[in-house]
Chain A
């Protein structure tokens, strides 16, 4: 691991410097994570009076639990939908903004602020806007002949949470695409233009392929975002319903652990999620390393 050529020789000081970070990490991150792993091998009754070691039973149980499999499918649909919607819209907006010189920064300011809105607040805003009785959107949809009801219709509920989660993520993706577009050498675009390639062809054959590292990076980040940070969106709106149509894995860990008090199963689900995050982080880092060598 890299250090400086010249360093200080203190023996004790570095430990003091690193102690606070290490203490917080060990107490609030590593220790609970180990607890989750340990707990996932135990079965405890809801009152915590008796505990027994059950090996991999909790894991076997979740793979056979239809509501867990449902949550898995819902999570995949939700992640793919949010990533697609927010990446496509952000790319369109970034390409448009990049083609304008004077007004680019004004549009950027007007587009990035939703990043600062809490996912929970975004959820409440969409919950209100789509409220079946007083909301504006259901009213407009009724004019088009569609009866919107996210309280009863699973598809409507899924659309609602996808929109609420994507809304916030567009600004993030937009910034990264804009940075990616600006790092493409102008000479390439100009050469293509001289060769007679129109704007559409230039985008398809030059700009988009050169953006692929950014797109891939955003894909991973967006999947991580929808898998973990959208807890608040779900909790503030549909709460996993109707009939589990929007019950994503993170939300299920919470409800099974805190409300259902099924600690063993909740812990096993936590461990599965941790494995998923570790895999995604690994992919992200491998990619970043490759990217740095360019």
Chain B
């Protein structure tokens, strides 16, 4: 601060507190709703203070599911989401770090072409080519499987760029020294490059885990049997009951559970999260 202006400082605090309240409000409302009985919503407006049904609601959604909406227990959906998020984030990191290594540390015919093909993935979000991609996955018999949920999403231009950028900053002397000592390409990768990339890998993991967990359209179309539902898409199926108001307390409890894991990841790994976010966008 250049000068001391108490009024300005107070104003800043007020603005930020207001911002935090506005940002948190929708989640507060959802949480309050999840602590009430279904019948509390029939009469007029929803309550603004917590009810007494917190345990009962969460027990219902976690263990018995919503039979009326045809949804499986949430525990299973959480498990599916976790599998999908981990498969996507780990898969993306593995294939990206390998291809970045090939592009930076080797010279081979068609290297340029390969780089451009990978670059293309950046430009083709799944939403814009949804019908043909679905067709390919269906032809490969990957519908309703964890492979179908994750593999089509694991190509990543941004992760490849990030690793390429990082590898270019690694001093050449390291490679020369390793070669003098007789290390081959795989040994160099495993013993020198991988340990050096640890922070980058961790930061990328945080971002990609959130990306994987929050997938919506893709799981929605490739899973038709409830065994493979993920929680983010499951919410939609639940709030979609025909001819009746949804059981809001249960739906909101599921919404809270669905956002909890990625939000906790962001809060507890904020440093890595910020690093990953800022660097993948460069």
Interface residues of A (CB under 8 A from B): 1-8, 10-11, 13-15, 17-18, 20-22, 24-33, 35-36, 39, 89, 92-93, 96-97, 99-101, 103, 107-122, 124-129, 133-136, 139, 167, 170-172, 175-176, 179, 189-190, 193, 199, 217, 221, 228-229, 231-232, 235-236, 250, 253-254, 257-258, 263, 266-267, 270, 273-274, 277-278, 281, 288
Docked complex Cα distance between A101 and B216 (Å):
39
Known: A7-B105, A93-B16, A101-B1. A17 touches B45 (CB 8 A): no
In the complex, how many angstroms separate the beta carbon of A90 from the nearest chain B beta carbon? 9
Cross-interface CB contact of B236 among A110, A139, A236, A253, cutoff 8 Å? A236
Can you report 22 A-B residue pairs in the complex whose CB atoms are below 8 A from each other? Answer: A1-B111, A1-B115, A13-B106, A14-B108, A21-B99, A22-B118, A27-B136, A93-B16, A100-B12, A112-B270, A113-B263, A125-B29, A128-B248, A133-B245, A134-B46, A172-B277, A175-B278, A190-B2, A199-B8, A235-B220, A277-B123, A277-B124
Q: Does B62 contact A (CB under 8 A)?
A: no
Known: A18-B103, A24-B151, A121-B258. A33 touches B124 (CB 8 A): yes
Docked complex Cα distance between A38 and B156 (Å):
25
Please tell me which stretch of B18-26, B52-60, B196-204 contacts chain A, meaning at least 4 of its Cβ atoms lie within 8 angstroms of it: B18-26
Known: A14-B106, A18-B102, A93-B19. A2 touches B155 (CB 8 A): no
A-B contact count (CB 8 A): 305
B151-170 interface code vs A (CB 8 A; 1 in, 0 out): 11011000010000000100
Cross-interface CB contact of A125 among B9, B19, B41, B255, cutoff 8 Å? B255
Docked complex Cα distance between A268 and B91 (Å):
32
User: Which residues from chain A contact B248 at a C-beta distance below 8 Å?
Assistant: 128, 134
In the complex, how many angstroms separate the beta carbon of B62 from the nearest chain A beta carbon? 17
Q: Does B131 contact A (CB under 8 A)?
A: yes
Known: A18-B99, A281-B122. A124 touches B255 (CB 8 A): yes
Interface residues in B211-260 by Cβ distance below 8 A to A read 213-214, 216-217, 220-221, 232-233, 235-236, 239, 245, 248, 251-252, 255, 258-259
Q: Does B274 contact A (CB under 8 A)?
A: yes
Interface residues of B (CB under 8 A from A): 1-3, 5, 8-9, 11-13, 15-16, 19-20, 23-27, 29-30, 33, 41, 44-46, 48, 94-96, 98-99, 101-108, 111-112, 114-115, 117-118, 120-125, 127-137, 151-152, 154-155, 160, 168, 172, 175-176, 179, 184-186, 188, 210, 213-214, 216-217, 220-221, 232-233, 235-236, 239, 245, 248, 251-252, 255, 258-259, 262-263, 265-267, 270, 273-274, 277-278, 281-282
Known: A125-B30, A167-B26, A179-B278. A96 touches B104 (CB 8 A): no
Closest 3 CB pairs of A and B: A118-B214, A32-B132, A116-B262
User: Which residues from chain B contact A221 at a C-beta distance below 8 Å?
Assistant: 281
